[in-house]
Amino acid sequence: MTNNVHGIGINTGSVNPYGSQPKGGEAKPEENKPEVQSQAPAAPQVKPDDVLSYMAQNAVAVNPRVSAPRTYDISKYVTPEQAARIAGFVTSFEDQVAEGLIAIDAEFGENSPLSEQAKYELAAGMVK
């Protein structure tokens, strides 16, 4: 049933400002149950200044620290024939990159706007 209250259609039949009792009779008072609180281990508190200094150090350190280069015993991983074949591929690649660098220098001249890294990337991309 919808009543027209001040020109607004409101269903006043469902509005009860006094609260309602449960249909099973009077409301039962809540029993005093012991509350179980889960206690999570407290995380150690960190000072805000420590967090900010950590963030500042990470923002500055763009390149991670590099350890000393390690040498590997190739004979553990490949046979001598495979090592010779791989070395041949590497020297062939290096020769083709060197030829690409010569071509780039010839094309752009000595005063090219490209950095050395860009030249090497271009020359490596030219390898077939």
Task: Compute the distance between CA of residue 116 and CA of residue 90 in angstroms, rounded to an integer.
Answer: 21
Residues 74-114 pLDDT 10s: 889 999 999 999 999 999 999 999 999 999 888 888 777 88
Residues 6+ apart with CB under 8 A from 78: 86
Q: Which residues pair with 8 in a beta bridge?
A: 5
pTM: 0.42
Token pair 């150690």 is at which residue?
44
**pLDDT for the residue numbered 58:** 74
Where do the structural domains in the chain lie, given as residue ranges?
78-128
Residues 39-80 pLDDT 10s: 767 778 888 898 888 888 776 656 667 788 888 888 899 999
